[in-house]
């Protein structure tokens, strides 16, 4: 059934004499396809769908009553929080949520190869995850509405934060306290080479340093797996440098929780000897006294859910950038030696 679905999309393209990408754009109502072409494509698609399966026509009218939510891993707070918000909003609209976890590279590859959501859902909310180009290309083949939450993938409607500005905000806070030796702990996830939030936050970090006239030091940027224990180990590495940083920006609060313990394990006090800043405002950040740049994860999930609801009712949507704010607690202070 899955293979038939793929054949279907290719068949439509062949019969209409256009590319698969054009078929996809036409079906998603995106610009760049002439009205006559679009009408012809939709007619052919309807016809083929009818021949192949009665379920397909039900799908094309958007009536499975289900939305697929694709998420890397629900055990990680960020994804669990966003999924929670999306599910609540969709449930309130009487839609069911089909959950797809595509945590490791292999499962993800299979997901995008099998396109399992086809004919099972009316639309898909894709919670930000790193995708190689070939998998991005395959998203068109889903043949359903797609909304991206917590990031951006090609030209799909999306909700995101401004990762560059978030990192710059954190650096400005540290610079304002008098820090001049500021390090950053980046994070990698699922061994993927390119993860947009990581890349963008690094750019913001660099921009923040440049704006303050501070040098970019290679030894002050390290990359660790996305886990608290890795944050602790990374912090100890940074603090063991001949000229250690007086402040550390961490990719996320969960890395920062590790950093707090790493500093303590190195016999240093926070913020007396070293200041630590996170990003997120994780539920434990308050109790840990962590200074952080807050992003409203649940709010982004709700927005994304609203967006897919609008797409399903053929209403226009606008991309959304969720605001962030600095939350100052007790893990940052002036450096002892500026």
Provide the binding-site residues for a second copy, judged by CB under 8 A.
Answer: 66, 69, 73-77, 79-81, 83-84, 87-88, 91, 96-101, 103, 107, 116, 120, 227-229, 231-232, 254, 257-258, 261, 283-284, 286-289, 298
- CA torsion sign for 94, 43, 147, 122 is positive
Instruction: Output 231 or 245, the one with its CB closest to a second copy.
Output: 231
Measured from the CB atom, is 103 or 113 closer to a second copy?
103
> Is the Cβ of residue 105 or residue 229 nearer to a second copy in the bound state?
229
Nearer to a second copy (CB atom), residue 81 or residue 140: 81
CB closer to a second copy out of 180 and 329:
329
Cβ proximity to a second copy: between 5 and 24 the closer is: 5
Question: Nearest distance from residue 290's CB to a second copy, in Å?
Answer: 11
What 3 state SS string does the chain have? CHHHHHHHHHHHHHHHCCCHHHHHHHHHCCCCCCHHHHHHHHHHHHHHHHHHCHHHHHHHCCCCCEEEEEECCCCCHHHHHHHHHHHHHHHHCCCEEEEEECCCHHHHHHHHHHCCCCCCCCEEEEECCCCCHHHHHHHHHHCCEEEEECCCCCCCEEEEECHHHHHHHHHHHHHHCCCCCEEEEEEECCCCCCCHHHHHHHHHHHHHHHHCCCCCCHHHEEEEECCHHHHHHHHHHHHCCCCCCCEEEECCHHHHHHHHHHHHHCCCCCCCCCEEEEEECCCCCCCCCCEEEEECHHHHHHHHHHHHHHHHCCCCCCCEEECEEEECCCCCCCCCCC
CA 53 to CA 207: how far, in whole Å? 54
Taking the complex as a whole, how short is the minimal distance between the CB of residue 86 and a second copy, in angstroms? 10
* Closest CB to a second copy among residues 62, 80: 80
Closer to a second copy by CB, 123 or 258: give it.
258
Angle, CA of 158, 164 and 167, to the nearest 5°: 125
CB 262, min distance to a second copy, A: 8
- Shortest separation between residue 285's beta carbon and a second copy, angstroms: 10
């Amino acid at each position: 059934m899955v293979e038939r679905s793929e054949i279907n999309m290719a068949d439509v393209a062949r019969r209409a004499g256009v590319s698969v990408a054009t078929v996809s754009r036409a079906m998603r109502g995106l610009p760049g396809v002439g009205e006559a072409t679009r009408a012809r494509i939709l007619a052919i698609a309807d016809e083929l769908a009818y021949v192949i399966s009665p379920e397909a026509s039900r799908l094309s009218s958007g009536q499975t009553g289900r939305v697929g939510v694709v998420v890397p891993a629900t055990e990680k707070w960020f994804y669990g929080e966003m999924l929670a918000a999306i599910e609540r909003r969709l449930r309130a609209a009487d839609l069911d949520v089909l959950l797809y976890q595509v945590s490791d590279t292999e499962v993800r590859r299979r997901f995008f190869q099998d396109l399992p959501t086809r004919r099972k859902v009316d639309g898909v909310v894709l919670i930000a995850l790193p995708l190689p180009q070939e998998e991005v290309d395959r998203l068109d083949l889903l043949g359903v509405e797609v909304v991206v939450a917590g990031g951006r993938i090609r030209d799909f409607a999306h909700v995101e934060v401004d990762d560059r500005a978030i990192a710059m905000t954190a650096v400005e806070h540290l610079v304002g306290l008098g820090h001049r030796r500021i390090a950053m702990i980046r994070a990698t996830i699922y061994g993927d080479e390119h993860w947009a939030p990581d890349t963008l936050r690094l750019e913001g970090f660099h921009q923040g340093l440049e704006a303050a006239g501070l040098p970019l030091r290679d030894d002050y940027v390290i990359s660790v797996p996305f886990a608290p224990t890795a944050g602790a180990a990374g912090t100890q590495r940074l603090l063991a440098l001949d000229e250690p940083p007086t402040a550390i920006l961490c990719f996320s609060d969960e890395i920062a929780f590790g950093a707090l313990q790493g500093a303590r394990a190195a016999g240093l006090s926070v913020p007396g000897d070293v200041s630590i800043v996170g990003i997120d405002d994780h539920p434990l950040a308050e109790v840990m006294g962590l200074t952080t740049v807050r992003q409203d994860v649940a709010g982004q999930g709700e927005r994304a859910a609203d967006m897919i609801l609008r797409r399903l009712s053929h209403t226009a949507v606008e991309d959304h950038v969720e605001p962030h704010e600095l939350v100052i607690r007790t893990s940052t202070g002036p450096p002892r030696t500026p």
